[in-house]
Chain A
Amino acid sequence: MTRKLLALSILLSAFLLGFSNPTFAAGSEEDKTSFIMHHVKDSHEWHFATFGHTHVTLPLPVIVYSGDRGLEVFMSSNFQNHETHEFGKEYAHEGYYIDEHDHLGRVDEASFVELSITKNVVMMFIVMFILAWIALSAAGHYKKNGAVAPKGAAALIEPIVIFVRDEIAKNSIGPKYKKFVPYLITLFLFIWFGNLLGLLPGAANLTGNIAVTCTLAVLTFIITNVNGNKDYWKHVFATPGVPIPMLLIIVPVEIIGLFTKPFALMVRLFVAITAGHIVILGFIALAFIFESYTIGVVSTLMVTFINIIELLVATIQAYVFTLFTAMYIGGAVAEHAHDDHH
């Protein structure tokens, strides 16, 4: 197994180098590493590969809403140079442009809201589709066979469902865990699938995008605080056992604490996944910078190694996000007699 993997890596590295050297060899040092940030960030188009001067790209819809012009839909290819497929201010279309940093702008500088189906949105729908497909076929198994031993998709999903229910929800939330299990399972599976599919070559860095982690963290924040009981709010605004003058300091700290929790969730997932992608791409970039087959082979071996670690990270980060969500909810719904502690 290991030997096969090694052989495969070397073959792949040789293949990649042979293909990509002409493309990158010509450019400057910055060109050789620019693809890293390009991959990590969201984009208005889905760029798969470049062979010489041919770009294999999926143009995506650009949707804009503005107060004066209403809802407008374009394609990202409208904003490109038809020869080089480069974005730029000079390729403006219907009053909008996408600059060289893939940033949408309006020529007359008026305000607008962007609702484009970007690369990450497409990736998100792919992840959701796969997840829904697996989950629904797993649920179909129970509908068809009743409460029997799992098979197929159910055998894949069931251990995860049980793990989230027993190890995460039951342990961290306590007796009122049942209500939150479906959210936690969806959260775990969405992040996990997003992390794993994001590792595929050519895939988008969905769970390493701050907008995605931000949305998930905000959902957790809303669920936590909507379900917060009397004890929870009392703890924030009138921390028991603290002298009244001290409350002047404690209450602001507690209120900031409410927001730092989801903020930490957001940043942790974003950083962990993005950093992993940057490391992998950095190793690949080494081969182009040094223009050496030896470095190429070594860096490909390293990439294989990091990829295996990333599989682990993908699972751990999904687990950690779900676990902390459960702990925050647990803290909000816990009924405790708290006269003696704190």
Chain B
Amino acid sequence: MIIQSVREILTTQGRLSTPLSELREDSDLYHAGLTSLATVGLMLALEEEFDIEFPDSMLSRKTFGSIESIVDAIEALQD
């Protein structure tokens, strides 16, 4: 399951101030403490895990703003 892997990567890379277990799929990760620096680690770990490369057009806060948006982006890149 993509979503499970995303949650695991967020646990190791996200450095969130809110416990991941309290976050819904559409919760705002930036409100949960995701910094732009942590986003970089998150992005690189996702690329490694899913063997994808985020294009420049996706390198924004919107892509990494929630678990849902991350899963959507991965699915779009895997198609």
Is this pair of chains taken from one and the same complex? no
Interface residues of A (CB under 8 A from B): none
Residues of B within 8 A of A (CB): none
